[in-house]
């Protein structure tokens, strides 16, 4: 059985000064996928040097201290693919894919549309390009994709849907349509598969004590190819783990 964890750490160097190392070593995942490392590749390796049991690959943005992803795996991947092969989308270190024997594992940090929705049109083209990338992978073997998708899919996935609908980044119809495209093209939202009606969030604003009041959003996901949903034993959101404005999400494979 394998335990896969995804965590938007909101700065790998910052979170390493908190309880991250102890929390992750207690959780002991087989694979840990990180988003928003906010560091260059050498800085990621240096920050994670104490994780001796893991192979670590990272993808950094051209712009320093911004975005960035990493995959830490106990098993060395057969191959690693960086980005999605579309130059417009490949400047911000947002995607890494690790190939394992039975599946591709992709970590993603999807672009945020911005507080005034300035990047919404860009985000829409990103979603379409990323879906094509995943389906091209899936033509070879099943896909597991995890990370911060920067969208709440349905009303149940955020505390205040009416106040945010079509006004706030992460809950516009275009972003919802983007997530609909993933889930209607053979990718299963694992948390909703196991917990169809459970209200649980993975991100809270730092403002106004949102986390303490649980005024949150579920924007972190594990999606898997329909062909391997029967290999997934469980899907959870780990609300108790702090250190970021997000919390980790996890699946266990049989």
Q: Please indicate whether residue 157 is annotated as part of the active site.
A: no
Residue in 54, 103, 109, 171 annotated catalytic: 109
Tokens of 227: 């062909």
Q: How far is residue 39's CA from residue 36's CA, in Å, rounded to a whole number? A: 8
The answer to whether the CB of 246 falls within 8 A of the CB of 220 is yes
Q: How far is residue 206's CA from residue 100's CA, in Å, rounded to a whole number? A: 37
Residue in 30, 83, 127, 148 annotated catalytic: 148
Q: Please indicate whether residue 103 is annotated as part of the active site.
A: no
The answer to whether the CB of 133 falls within 8 A of the CB of 85 is yes
- Give the DSSP letter string of 171-205: SSHHHHHHHHHHHTTTEEEHHHHH-TT----SEE-
Residue with tokens 């092969």: 85
Q: How far is residue 153's CA from residue 142's CA, in Å, rounded to a whole number? A: 23
Active site residue ranges: 109, 148
């Amino acid at each position: 059985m394998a335990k896969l964890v995804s965590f938007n750490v909101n700065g790998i160097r910052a979170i390493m000064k908190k309880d991250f190392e102890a929390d992750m070593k207690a959780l002991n995942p087989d694979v840990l996928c990180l988003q928003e490392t906010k560091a260059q590749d050498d800085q990621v390796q240096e920050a994670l040097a104490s994780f001796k049991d893991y192979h670590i690959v990272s993808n950094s943005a051209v712009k320093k201290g911004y975005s960035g992803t990493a995959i830490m795996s106990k098993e060395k991947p057969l191959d690693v693919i960086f980005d999605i092969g579309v130059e417009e989308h490949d400047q911000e270190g947002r995607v890494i894919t690790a190939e394992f024997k039975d599946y591709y594992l992709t970590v993603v940090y999807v672009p945020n549309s911005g507080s005034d929705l300035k990047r919404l049109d860009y985000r829409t083209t990103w979603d379409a390009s990323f879906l094509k990338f995943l389906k091209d992978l899936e033509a070879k073997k099943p896909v597991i994709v995890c990370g911060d998708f920067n969208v709440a899919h349905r009303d149940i996935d955020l505390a205040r849907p009416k106040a945010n609908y079509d006004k706030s980044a992460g809950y516009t119809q275009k972003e919802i349509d983007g997530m609909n495209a993933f889930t209607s093209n053979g990718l299963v939202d694992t948390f909703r598969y196991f917990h169809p009606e459970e209200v649980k969030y993975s991100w809270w604003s730092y403002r106004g004590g949102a986390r303490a009041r649980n005024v949150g959003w579920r924007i972190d996901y594990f999606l898997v190819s329909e062909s391997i949903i029967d290999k997934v034993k469980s899907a959870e959101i780990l609300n108790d783990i702090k250190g970021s404005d997000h919390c980790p999400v996890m699946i266990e494979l049989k």
